[in-house]
Amino acid sequence: MRSATLDELLEDFDLFDDRMERLQYVLELGDQVDGLPDELKSEENRVHGCLSNVWMVAEFRPGTPPILEFRADSDSHVVRGLIAVLLMLCSGRTPHEIHAMDLSDVFRRLKLAEGSLQSRSNGFHQMIKRIKRLAEEHVKH
């Protein structure tokens, strides 16, 4: 999965004129998510508050600077696409970069809060909370 800035994603999503085209793009992004092996689909790794089952883990990669790599999966194809958006924004970043990101408005700015994706807003925000919490666990004070 490629990394992207919010501006790059906004540019990508601006190519689509209507919500059905955006939904199709989200589904295509979901096809790029590698998923998780069954042993990581545990209650400990589950994102609570989502309509679908979502699991998310972070791996700390030491280096200069150290980064976090996120992996996630869902039993919903649409949610896998939303996972892809968050992985593009957050995976491969430092815990400090993730902590500094304002992800709360991403759903609206990408125009995902329209149509059939609107019902996924709460789950999207729960995934953001999990990403922030996992990053916070790796911030060295």
Q: Which residues contact 123 (CB under 8 A, 6 or more apart)?
A: 47, 49, 50, 51, 52, 54, 79, 82
Q: Among this protein's residues, is 90 annotated catalytic?
A: no
Q: Give dist(CA 36, CA 105) in Å, integer.
A: 27
Of the residues 26, 29, 47, 50, only one is catalytic, namely 50
> Which residues are part of the catalytic machinery?
50
